[in-house]
Structure 1
Amino acid sequence: MTNVVLLRPEDNCDTTTRRTRLIRAFASERRQQGDVFWMKENAELLGMLASIGAALDAEMLEPLVAFHSKSRNMLRDFPQYYRFILSLCLDLEELGLPELYGAALCDEVARVGLEGMELSDLQRAEARRLLRRRAVGPLVGEGALGERLHNFITRSATFAIPNRKAAYELTHIVYYLSDYGRLDPSLPEKALLSLQFTGLLAFLDQDMDLLAEVCAALRFAGVAPARSWENSVAECHRASRIQADTHAPVQDDYHEWLVTGWAIHIAGRPLRPQHLSDGALRFKCRSRGQGALRPLAECLSDMGAQRSADWGHMRPHVLSYLGPDSHAVLLAAEQSGPHFEKFFEGFARARG
């Protein structure tokens, strides 16, 4: 299956104006063009625009034309950043710049064997996904690497306990297997359960950045996320604030703003237009609040050996322990789908 979740690009001028402004802000107003943090931010922005089929043109991408034209020299001088360079070049060519350099970059990366410099299977998977965009090398899910990736994402017990590194690796493996929604990743049920467990943890923690990533991954896998999860992601995005402030720290909430808006778009929900002032943009998302994850863990810790993996048995003890806000979040998590009891079995870490 192809074009799993690609949406029809918008045609209205307001969307075009906002995206032009956003591209300029990321390309030339937040960081020094070409440094690694600049590459990371711009690769994430362009990757998300490409994945939703955004309709751009060369004029909108003008602030990035110079980087595109220098991409082969950048790869020669900074091979350690080859994944960022490849990602930026390939997305720029997908979004509207001429296809002048992407194929040559992929051939050069494969010829030199830059994937071999990676110790992480996740980074090797990303490299494969990028090279396949120009039909170079094996598919992400093939061979020994593919087997290891699938073994990781199908071990659902991993994702029933808090581990942000594992959680983000899970979502990104799904992104690479699905080519960000362009292909059907054909995930087995255990991998889908891993995503559900990760979503429950993110929702309990009110971590909207991770929850948005899980919602996107589920959509790419052909599964509609819990409505309450996507509602929370949408509320987070609507509550964010964007301002032009050169004195504010550049280490801001841009990623949470970006990924929550991306997940809303993938879900086919309308995005509320947000004013983008002239100047160096800074992004501020609302505080996540306490959530229920930490109080739930504290409750289980206090119970010690008396804890049980049976949610039906533990439910009254837990609910009586939590404060009002955490209580409401936990009830919403429980009611978000059919997986909470199974999730709790792993989360409780009860003996016997």
Structure 2
Amino acid sequence: MSNVIALHPVPRIADPDTRIAALIACFAQHRRSEEDVFWLKENAELLNILDCTGAAAWAGIGPRALLPHVEFYASAEARLAFFPQYYRFLLSMVLDLEDLGMPGETGARMAQSIAASAAPGAELSDLQRMEARRLLARRGVSGPADLGLEDRLRGFCARPGIFALPNKKAAYELTHIVFYLSEYGRRDPRLEAEALTSLHFAGNLAFLEQNSDLLAEVCIALRYAGELPPPLWTGWLSRETQLFHVETDPQGPLQDGYHDFLVCNWQLALAGEEPFRTPLESGRMRFDRSPRRMAPLRELSRALFTMKGRRSADWAVMRRRMEGALPPGVIDLLDLMARETAHFDAFFEGFARAGRA
């Protein structure tokens, strides 16, 4: 009996312009309908990443790649008039389309219309007010006067203790504040040293959780703040990005890892590597991250909680006490972080919650 070896051809990776055109078409035409607010969210996120990574240059994006959005662009002002509550999504998409090569001046008219309305002033959070200010400023339009807005946001960032404990909402707000203050890397966000420490703390938690989505955003924010993220993080993110499984499935569920896929490739682009280097088709794609092999954050939290009054803020002390209570892989990961990331001792001091019941 002879052995038959099945050969599986390696999928061909197209040129950058073809891949990005397929990605744009996928989100614009094949995943959701335009009446779905999540269509706005997904497309706004993709176009923003393409714009702020300079895809018009490295992928050669031009009007042809943007054809799937021609009808949206033509109807954007009518959509804004009928759906003013989505003004940030709508304006963001229009501005990015124009900056990527879509001919027209719709963005300037929309910015003027939005500034004249009450929408930016009605935002409840400083983060949303800053996003609105940044969007309007892209066409030279001023939003509502608020002289203390940026200082309040910087003050929030400069509280590292918040980010030494798991709080994804706060961590994502931290990264987005840096995005807006820096205009996505176009200017110095003028962060205090404590804010940079906050980013490192948030990154440590994301790495412990093996959360590539959040860690990629932290690395991007650090770069926009003028700091290089630890190679430990970026090396792991590069490997995770390569392990994404992209599948064309006309009927598949859309609760997938698309955002994780986008921000990991965004981080890759800022690190000087070629993003979205995977076979991409213009049909309905879903994006799945490789299965997680362990959950270090959960294991560490469980071990610390059970120790109660024996918790110490000193990592060296706690390492000895927890060594038998943690899987070897978790201890190895913590040792690696202690050696290769900034502010680890200060981070662990806050994370350990010594002296608390």
User: What TM-score, normalized by structure 2, do the two folds share?
Assistant: 0.91
Q: Please name the residue that 2:17 is paired with.
A: 16
1:191-245 deviation digits (Å, cap 9, x = unpaired): 0000000000000111000000001101111111000100111111100011110
Superposition pairs of residues 33-44 of structure 1, within 5 angstroms? 33-44=34-45
What runs of 5+ residues in structure 2 fail to find an aligned partner?
A: 1-12
Q: Please name the residue that 1:275 is paired with.
A: 279
Over aligned residue pairs, what C-alpha RMSD do you find?
1.8
Q: Please name the residue that 1:308 is paired with.
A: 312
Q: Is the 8 A contact 1:206 1:289 kept in 2?
A: no
Q: Is the 8 A contact 1:132 1:139 kept in 2?
A: no
Matched, 1:284 2:300: no
Q: Offset of 1:328 from its aligned partner?
A: 2.5
Q: Please name the residue that 2:128 is paired with.
A: 123
User: What TM-score, normalized by structure 1, do the two folds share?
Assistant: 0.93
Residue type matched to 1:351 in 2?
G
**Tell me, what secondary structure is at the counterpart of 2:233?**
helix
Q: Please name the residue that 1:255 is paired with.
A: 259
**Tell me, what secondary structure is at the counterpart of 1:88?**
helix
Q: Is the 8 A contact 2:266 2:275 kept in 1?
A: no
Q: Please name the residue that 2:76 is paired with.
A: 71
- 1:321 pairs with 322, 325, 328, which one? 325
Q: Out of 314-323 and 66-75, give the one that drifted further.
A: 314-323
**Tell me, what secondary structure is at the counterpart of 2:324?**
helix
Residue type matched to 2:259 in 1?
H
Matched, 1:113 2:114: no
1:264-312 deviation digits (Å, cap 9, x = unpaired): 1111124472112352111111123333211111111111011111222
Q: Is the 8 A contact 2:24 2:66 kept in 1?
A: yes
Q: Please name the residue that 2:5 is paired with.
A: none
Mapped partners of 1:185, 1:210: distance in 2: 20
Aligned residue pair count:
340
What runs of 5+ residues in structure 1 fail to find an aligned partner?
A: 1-11
Superposition pairs of residues 1-352 of structure 1, within 5 angstroms? 14-55=15-56, 56-137=61-142, 143-271=147-275, 273-351=277-355
Q: Using a 3 Å threshold, how does the CA distance of structure 1 residues 28 and 95 change in structure 2: closer, same or farther?
A: same
Mapped partners of 1:45, 1:262: distance in 2: 10
Mapped partners of 2:66, 2:276: distance in 1: 23
Mapped partners of 2:113, 2:42: distance in 1: 24
Q: Is the 8 A contact 2:14 2:279 kept in 1?
A: no
Q: Is the 8 A contact 1:242 1:284 kept in 2?
A: yes
Q: Please name the residue that 2:3 is paired with.
A: none
Residue type matched to 1:29 in 2?
H
Could you list the structure 1 runs, at least 4 aligned residues long, displaced by more than 6 angstroms after superposition. Answer: none
Percent identity (aligned): 47
Mapped partners of 1:174, 1:316: distance in 2: 37
